[in-house]
Amino acid sequence: MPRRNGTTTEPRGSALYEVLKGIDFERRELVDKTRGVGLFDLVKDKAGAYKCYACTLCERTCPVDCIEIDYCPEFDELPFDVEAERAAALLTLPGESCGAGAACVMGEQPAGFVPEIDMKLFDPVISGLRAGTGLVEALHTTQEAYGYLPRVALENIAEEAHLPFSRVFGVASFYSQFRLTPVGKHVIHVCMGTACHVAGAPLVAEAFAQELDIPVGSTTPDLLFTLETVNCIGACALAPAVRIGDEVTHARVTPQSARKLVRQLRKKEA
């Protein structure tokens, strides 16, 4: 590749120019933006296929929101081959057997877990989506039904809402309340709010982790317990507070009483 030495007539950055010479650009005017001079180029490879595979990184990092990845089937004027793109996006994600791949983005399933997806439970989600509830609401309903967000449910939501799977998965993984792996019977939420922190919540979380022998944010192999921390459950006067399940809140928990709680629950289950 010729180096830029002052004698050549090629434009600056000629090395890059060489690479890009054989590539067509498509220029699309950006509308609805304050600075109306922006242009959006999509790079094609030599075979004429678009190189973009909708990883949404550019969309996510653009500070002024002038990129939008949108290859919704409703807009056929978009340059994507929707089906091919969707298939390609799905290929970058692991297959149905979630526990198999080490690089599984959906998180590792607890050992001994056999996913059982009752699609009947999914009907309210679909009817909700048809009635115009938002995506976040649909995910909440799904999680209420299954306790977590199974991959097949996310795919169905994507199909029903005419959204790319990547978008649904993106939203599901963005919010900390959504879980992509199944939970144990007892979900232990250790509050990590400020008041709980100064009252010793980190020690309490650690005591739970030791007693259950799992790190925070995971589930025991027997699917009995899931240990999670939450930012604040708003029970600051009871610090450190621990909520087990959706109902019972334990006040002023100490590392010792935390261990006791686990032992009591184990005994009850045994």
Partner 1 sequence: MATRSTSERARKTRITKALKAAFRPELATGGDDTVKIRVCAGSTCNATGRAAVSDALTKELAKRGLSDKVEVVLTGCHGLCQEGPIAVVHPKGVFYPRLKAKDMAEIVETSVVGDDVVERLLYRDPATGEAVTLEKDVPFYAGQTRIVRAVNGTIDPTSVDDYLSRGGYAALAAVLAAGDPEAVIDEVESSGLRGRGGAGFPTGTKWRYCRANPGEKHYIIANGDEGDPGAFMDRAILEDNPHSLVEGMLIGAFAIGADEGYVYVRHEYPLAVSRLRIALEQARERGLLGDDILGTGWSFDLKINQGAGAFVCGESTALTASIEGHRGMPRGKHIRTVAHGLWQQPTDLNNVETFANVPWIVSNGADAFAALGTETSKGTKIFSLTGKSRNSGLVEVPMGATLREVIFDVGGGMQDGREFKAVQLGGPSGGCLPADLLDTPIDFENLTKYGSMMGSGGMVVVDDATCMVDFAKFFFEFTAQESCGKCVPCRVGTQRVLEILERICAGDGTEADVELLERLSDDIIEGSLCQLGGSAPNPVLTTLRYFRDEVMAHVVEKRCPAKVCRPLIKYVIEEDACTGCHVCLGACPTQAISGERKQAHVIDQKLCIKCDTCRQVCKFDAIPVVDAQPALVEGRQQ
Residues in the site for partner 1, rule: CB under 8 A?
Answer: 34, 60-61, 63-65, 134-137, 139-140, 170-171, 174-178, 192-200, 203, 206-207, 210-211, 230-239, 241, 246, 249-251, 254-256, 259
Q: Minimal distance in Å, beta carbon 114 to partner 1?
A: 27
H or E element that contains 75: none
Beta strands 25-29 and 242-244 are: unpaired
CA distance 219 to 205: 14
CB-wise, 65 or 96, nearer to partner 1?
A: 65
Using an 8 Å Cβ cutoff, are 40 and 27 in contact?
yes
How far apart are the two ends of the chain, measured CA to CA in Å?
72
- CB nearer to partner 1: give 30 or 136: 136
* Total residue length of the chain: 270
- Our CB check for partner 1 shows the closer of 104 and 172 to be 172
Least separation in angstroms between CB 121 and partner 1: 19
Nearer to partner 1, 96 or 213 (CB): 213
Helix residue spans in the chain (DSSP H): 14-20, 57-61, 82-91, 123-130, 135-146, 151-161, 165-174, 194-198, 201-212, 255-269
User: Given the complex with partner 1, which of 44 and 70 has the nearer CB atom?
Assistant: 70
| Nearest Cα residue to 93 out of 164, 12, 196 | 164
Q: How far is the CB of 47 from partner 1 (least distance, A)?
A: 33
Minimal distance, residue 190 CB to partner 1, in Å: 13
For residue 238, the minimal CB distance to partner 1 (Å) is: 6
